[in-house]
């Protein structure tokens, strides 16, 4: 990061760590984050992590059909994580798009169908997105070990239906 050392008291990062390779790219990102934090500064990082008990794409599809997935964001990350064999390998976005297309039509009562009726979003796969970087969400334990790049930290989970997969790390620089 071309920023001065100690320049910030607070840094917020929302889900960006998946764009860095695991584990080295994520550690390098956190090291750079630490460098730009002033002593006592905080970094608040929402991370995407794989569930403790891996789920299959079929389980995700069943959850979707019964209305237990209420946002397209939760759907895309659950599909990605169900397809990923390891955080070091990640998953191709093309594979996530293909799994999404295989879901077929959603039930009319699905929260996603109801939400799209209010705000239509095309169910297509843009060519540019297929070539996008591979997401690499680690397990919660692996991500926590990377987080110790900063001197101290704690992990909290928001109170949402999918909170265990999106813990928020609060890291303090000393």
DSSP letter at 17 equals G
**Range 27-53 average pLDDT:** 86
The model's pTM: 0.69
Beta bridge partners of 8: 37
Beta carbons of 112 and 71 less than 8 angstroms apart: yes
Beta carbons of 38 and 6 less than 8 angstroms apart: yes
CA dist 147 and 26 (Å) reads 9
Q: Please report, for the chain, the start and end positions of each structural domain, with discontinuous segments joined by +.
A: 8-49+137-172, 57-130
- What percentage of the chain reaches a pLDDT higher than 90? 13
CA dist 85 and 97 (Å) reads 17
Domain at 8-49+137-172: CATH architecture = 3-Layer(aba) Sandwich (3.40)
Q: What is the pLDDT of residues 88-104, one digit of tens each?
A: 888 888 888 889 888 88
Q: What is the pLDDT of residues 47-89, one digit of tens each?
A: 777 777 888 999 999 988 888 887 887 888 889 889 988 888 8
């Amino acid at each position: 990061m071309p920023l001065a050392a100690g320049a910030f008291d607070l840094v917020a990062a929302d889900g960006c760590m998946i764009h860095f390779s695991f584990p080295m790219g994520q550690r390098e990102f956190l090291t750079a984050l630490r460098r730009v934090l002033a002593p006592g500064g905080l970094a608040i990082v929402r991370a995407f992590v794989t569930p403790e008990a891996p789920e299959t794409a079929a389980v995700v599809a069943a959850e979707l059909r019964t209305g237990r997935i209420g946002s397209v964001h939760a759907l895309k990350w659950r599909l990605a994580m169900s397809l990923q064999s390891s955080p070091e390998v990640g998953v191709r976005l093309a594979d996530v798009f293909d799994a999404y297309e295989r879901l077929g039509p959603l039930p009319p009562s699905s929260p996603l169908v109801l939400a799209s009726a209010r705000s239509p979003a095309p169910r297509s796969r843009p060519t540019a997105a297929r070539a996008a970087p591979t997401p690499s969400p680690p397990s919660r334990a692996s991500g926590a070990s990377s987080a110790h790049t900063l001197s101290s930290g704690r992990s909290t989970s928001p109170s949402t239906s999918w909170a265990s997969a999106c813990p928020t790390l609060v890291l303090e620089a000393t």
